[in-house]
Amino acid sequence: RSRQLLSLCDLPAETLDRVRMPLLANIGFAADGPGARAMGAEGVGLYRTEYSFLLGETLPVEEALLQEYREVLTSFAPLPVTLRTLDVGGDKVLPYLPLREDNPFLGCRGIRFSLDQPEIFLIQLRAMLQANAGLGNLRILVPMIATVGELDEALGLLARAERELVAEGLAAQRPQVAVMVEVPAAVFLVGAMADRVDAFSIGTNDLTQYILAVDRNNIQVSTPYDSLHPAVLDAVRNVVSAAHRHAKPVNVCGELAGDPAGALLLLGLGVDSLSMSPALLGEVKRVIRCCKQADARRLAEAGLAMADGFAISRHVHAELDRIK
């Protein structure tokens, strides 16, 4: 079976009715790039930049970040590489910048942290813009956006980083920008944000946690934590329809994208690309190549009318058994 999956690497992720579904990788280290590419990734949909911040004992310097980002962009060029800006806070606390909060997952996380500490954010943005110079395959992804004002502030700092680099005579290239939809408020703001950015990426891990008010890391509530919950799938449907109304593509980079049942539903919901851990690429590609998008759409429509995630899961697994 694993040989079969490996031989799939060079085949396109395309349904029987010829709909292409680009499959991208989620990685967190530049060294993971070549392996992910060898496993058939058509780019990086989510590069978690926080790992290099979490590993060190001090804040990384701009030059080190530039080298890291340049390495991963180079290993995929001309394929797109999506670098997510720092997503610390929640359960990922920088050892050298401790935060004390009663509810860290509702606290200074993701973009809130970056806007709170603009000097750190600017170092990261400067490294990203310089890494993109002459390559042009960078996409910047902004996590935990909950208001249009946060997005505007982040875009303002990006423009400032670019101005500063130009003034210093350093090579920099403007990237595409995407917003993560992982806070419920963002689901309702896609239309308002669409003209400001190039794309959206749904983070189903946090979106599930926040829509259902269930801690994603608490095993005591692992049963109610369910990304197949109809409310989560309905949120995905709403994001896709609002983004497509503005001709902006939607990627999904949460764990749901790497789950065969989830991938089939997301195909049916009209998502444009899926990003997952490289080890899951082969199995998801196999599923995509065995089905028709038209059938997946009917499957998703039927699923959305069901009362809970268990029923949806049973329904989708019956279809997976049929097509495999």
For residue 14, what is the DSSP state? B
Binding-residue pattern over the window 44 to 63 for ligand PEP, x denoting contact by CB under 6 A: --x-x---------------
User: Taking CB under 6 A as the rule, does residue 226 contact ligand PEP?
Assistant: no
Piece in contact with ligand PEP (CB under 6 A), picked from 3-11, 59-67, 165-173, 198-206: 198-206
CB of 165 to ligand PEP, least distance (A): 28
Residue placing its CB nearer to Mg ion in the complex, 252 or 267: 252
Q: Is 203 in the site for Mg ion (CB under 5 A)?
A: yes
Query: What is the Cα 183 distance to its own chain's centre?
Result: 13
The CB-of-251 to Mg ion minimum distance in angstroms stands at 13
Please check whether residue 162 is in contact with residue 201, taking contact to mean a CB–CB distance below 8 angstroms.
no
Is there binding between residue 205 and ligand PEP (CB under 6 A)? yes
Closest CB to ligand PEP among residues 256, 287: 256
Told to check if 182 binds Mg ion by CB under 5 A, we report: yes
- For residue 136 the two structure tokens come to 């042009």
Structure tokens at 11: 């085949």
Phi, psi of 274, rounded to the nearest 5 degrees: -130, 140
Residue 190: C-alpha distances to residues 244, 252, 262 (Å): 10, 14, 22
Question: Can you tell me whether residue 233 is helix, strand or coil?
Answer: helix
Number of amino acids touching Mg ion (CB under 5 A): 3
Contact between 90 and Mg ion per CB under 5 A: no
- Contact partner, 253, from ligand PEP, Mg ion, none, Cβ < 5-8 Å per class: ligand PEP
151-174 burial code (b ≥16 CB/10 A, e <16): bebbeebbeebbeebeeeeeebbe
The site map against ligand PEP for 113-142 (x = CB under 6 A) is ------------------------------
Nearer to ligand PEP, 46 or 158 (CB): 46
Minimum CB distance to ligand PEP smaller for 40 or for 254: 254
Number of residues in contact with ligand PEP under rule CB under 6 A: 10
Whether the link from the prior residue into 78 is cis, omega within 30° of 0, is yes
Per CB under 6 A, the list member of 182, 226, 259, 319 interacting with ligand PEP is: 182
* Residue sitting closest to ligand PEP (CB): 203
How near is the Cβ of 84 to Mg ion at its closest, in Å? 9
Among 164, 228, 150, smallest CA distance to 193 is for 150
How open is the CA angle 153-159-160, to the nearest 5 degrees?
90
Check binding of 203 to ligand PEP (CB under 6 A).
yes
Nearest to 13 by CA among 36, 42, 34: 42
Backbone CA torsion sign across 233, 209, 48, 151: positive
Query: Are 201 and 254 in contact, with CB atoms under 8 Å apart?
Result: no
- Give the Cα separation of 11 and 5 in Å (integer): 10
Cβ proximity to ligand PEP: between 61 and 188 the closer is 188
If one asks whether residue 206 binds Mg ion (CB under 5 A), the answer comes out as yes
Q: Are 171 and 127 in contact (CB under 8 A)?
A: no
* Piece of the chain touching Mg ion by CB under 5 A; list 1-9, 113-121, 195-203, 309-317: 195-203
Could you say which of 85, 204, 273, 313 contacts ligand PEP (CB under 6 A)?
A: 204
Residues in the site for ligand PEP, rule: CB under 6 A? 46, 48, 87, 182, 203-206, 253-254
Residues in the site for Mg ion, rule: CB under 5 A? 182, 203, 206
